[in-house]
Amino acid sequence: MSDSQKSQYRNADGGQSETAAFNLWRHGQQSSAIGHFNLTHSSNDEFCILMAHFALLANDSDSAASWLMRFSNEARRRVFWLIKSNCTNGIQFPKYPDAIAQAQFGCRIWEASTKQLYNILSTVRNRASAKRKQNKNNQMELGL
């Protein structure tokens, strides 16, 4: 949790202890990720989603990717793998595909349907192709 987030939650309810502010923030994040304020009402699959959510908040893309792979079924896992393997040239997985899911479908990447994941894959492939072309043009201008 960043310092600005801590102060925001401390001051939101007339000033709170750091523990109370953290618990309020954590419950809010749990609710936004899985729809439950309490972990006891969650399934194992929702725990994987929650861990991926917190890993993304901590800028730990590798851990988030690992949790997403553990969550998904075989068809979704295949699409996640395709998306991940196409995230090259500085495209971060799962940060960039998650941003696409939020912008295009109004949901997080783990909430997207298989069809939506294929649309995200197409967008990632197009972005990677554009970056490759840009890098190639830059190298040609430099005479490399």
Using N-to-C axis directions, what is the helix angle for 74-86 and 114-142, rounded to 10°?
10
Average pLDDT, the chain: 82
pTM tops 0.75? no
Write out the E strands in 66-129.
none
pLDDT in tens, 84-131: 889 888 888 889 999 999 999 999 998 899 999 999 999 999 999 988
Average pLDDT over residues 20-47: 79
| 68-88: average pLDDT | 82
Single-letter amino acid code for the residue at 125: R
